[in-house]
Amino acid sequence: MKFFGKGVKGVNKGYFGLRRCSVCNDELRDVDLVEMHEVNYVCFVPVRNKIGMRILVCKQCNSYMEINNKLWEYYNSYYNRRFNKTTTDNIVKILNDMSSQMAQKGVKLNVDNKADEQSLDLIYKGLTDKYKVWENIEEIISVFFKD
Q: Residues 10-51: pLDDT tens digits?
A: 789 999 999 999 999 999 999 999 988 877 777 766 676 777
The SS3 call for residue 60 is coil
* pLDDT tens digit sequence for 106-124: 999 999 999 999 999 999 9
Does the structure show a pLDDT above 70 at 1? Answer: no
Residue 129's pLDDT is what?
96
Q: Tell me the mean pLDDT in the region 75-80.
A: 91
Is pTM beyond 0.85? Reply is no
Q: Distance (Å, rounded) from C-alpha 81 to C-alpha 139?
A: 13
Residue 74's pLDDT is what?
92
